[in-house]
Structure formats: structure tokens, C-alpha cells
Amino acid sequence: MSGGLPAAGAPHAAAAPVVRAVNARSAAAEALQREEPSGEDERLFPEEGPAGGCASGECLPEAAAPEPAPASAPHGDPAAPAAAVALRAAAGGAAEPPAPRAPVSEAPAAAPARPSRDSPMQALTERWRSAVDTVRAASARHGASLAFGRLLWIRPGEVGVAYPAAMGFHRTTVTASAGRTIVERALSEHFGRPTKLVVEQAVDGVGATLSVAEEDQQQRSAHERSTEGKVRSHPAVRAALKFLGGEIEHIQVLEPARPAPPPTDGPEDGS
């Protein structure tokens, strides 16, 4: 056949390449573009005004204003660095808490004054006798030895006595460690204040005072002589001796009753 067909025996010619123009956008992308809403459909609610209250930051504390920097001192002023250091030290010291104060101990209350059994209106010998009686009440043995001391003075906080050489035993009794403690404690209680006992050596002579024990001995001797004379001269006794034909050999005289010391104003020990 002639025309456009090649001959049967002729070789096949090379096929020409076929080029197709394909759109780069896929169908999926086009479908996604169709599904996206337009810009007008996105605003479904009216626009809100500016936020107020705590949302706007009104509740937040205001930031402290920065302290102004100290003005720079002119050159050549040596006091400027010292002033700056002093300001920094003061600012740093103000931030530190105050040091705790040590507790102030209150002064102990003064001990109440003890009642005094002494009466300055009485005679000195009576005052001393009353003090000896107070010591006797505390300790009979030490009170008896104190009575043999001759009074020298009674001063505020001090009593002075003197012992003759023959009364060394009684002096040792009241000046020993235990004896002095007992005597001074009783004297302090009697005079209502701490009282010390001063012991000296007595000098015999004219005008020497007598101790309480020496006065008691003189009074006792006088009382015995007076009592014995009254007994021997009593009519009843004389009649009995005449009737019985006997005689008096010995008369025992009892101790005279001594007046009791005046009561004290202080409370009793049992109260």
C-alpha cells in the first residue's frame, strides 16, 4: 500500500516522546481549599473591649521606685568617698534586725525589817539583861556564860563585853566558833538587826560595872539573908522551937521570882 504506511520490509522508525502537562496541585489540596471557611465566617462573636480589674494588672503591687543615685562629688573632694561609704553602711545596718537585749534581772526585794525586842528608853543595864534573857532562851548554857560578861557598850549592830581573868571558862564558851554563832544569832534576833559580839579583857578596879551574873549573885545573897532573918524571927517558928526544944540548922531559900520579859510585837514563831 502506498501513501502514509511504510513498506513491509522497511525498518521501524523510533517513536517520538509524548509530553503531558500535569497540574502540580493535587486533588486533595484542592478539596482542602474548598473546605476552608472564608475570612468573614471566622468572627462569630463581637470583639471584646480592653480588659479591666485585676486582669489589667491593677491589683499587682506597685514596684518600689528606685532610689536616686547619689550625685557624684566634684573631683578633688576627699570627703565624698567617706560620705558614700557612710551612707552604704547606714543602709546595710538598717536592714539587719536589732540584736536581742539581754534580760534585765530585777533587783531582789529588800528583806522586811525584823521586829526588835530592845527598848532604847530603858536603862542600859535593863536592856542588856533583856538581851541576855533572849540568848538564854536560845541556849541556856551559852546564855549563862554570856551573863558573866561585863557590859561595855551597846551600839547599832555591835555589843561589847569584858570578862575578868577568873571567868576564862565562860569567855571561851561564848568566843568559840559554835558559841559565837549561837550568841550572835540570838542577839541579832533580839535587836532586830545583824549584831556582832566584841569580847575584851576586863580590868578590875573602882567603878567597874558588874555582869548580870554578879548582880544576880548579890541580889540572891541579900535575899537569902533577909529571908533567913524573917524566918528565925517569925513568931510561929519561935513558938515551935520553944515547944519542941529544938533549933534551926539550915534554911533553904528559893530563887526569887523574876519578872517576865515584855512581850514582843513580832509574830510568834509558830505563825
Q: What is the pLDDT of residues 63-76, one digit of tens each?
A: 555 565 555 545 54
Mean pLDDT calculated for residue range 4-25: 52
Measuring CA to CA, how many Å separate 16 from each of 19, 41, 115, 175?
10, 53, 149, 156
**4 located within any domain:** no
* 33-65 CB burial, b ≥16 within 10 A, e <16: eeeeeeeeeeeeeeeeeeeeeeeeeeeeeeeee
pLDDT, greater one: 45 or 177: 177
Cβ pair 191, 131 in contact under 8 A: yes
Task: Let me know whether 123 and 153 are in one domain.
Answer: yes
Closest CA to 194 of 225, 158, 169: 158
Task: Let me know whether 121 and 150 are in one domain.
Answer: yes
The percentage of the chain sitting over the pLDDT mark of 90, rounded to a whole number, equals: 26
Q: Give the model confidence (pLDDT) of 48-94 as tens digits.
A: 565 555 555 555 556 555 565 555 545 545 544 554 444 454 545 44
Position 143 pLDDT exceeds 50: yes
Question: Most confidently modeled of 1-5, 140-144, 223-227?
Answer: 140-144
Strands (E), the chain: 150-155, 158-163, 196-201
Task: Let me know whether 146 and 205 are in one domain.
Answer: yes
In the block, residue with C-alpha cell 544576880: 216
**217 located within any domain:** yes
Cβ pair 202, 208 in contact under 8 A: yes
Question: Most confidently modeled of 14-18, 125-129, 267-271?
Answer: 125-129
**5 located within any domain:** no
Alpha carbon distance 197, 184 (integer Å):
6
Q: Give the predicted TM-score (pTM) of the model.
A: 0.49
Position 101 pLDDT exceeds 50: yes
Return the pLDDT at 234.
86
Cβ pair 118, 130 in contact under 8 A: yes
Domain count across the chain: 2
Task: Let me know whether 226 and 196 are in one domain.
Answer: no
Domain range for 246: 212-254
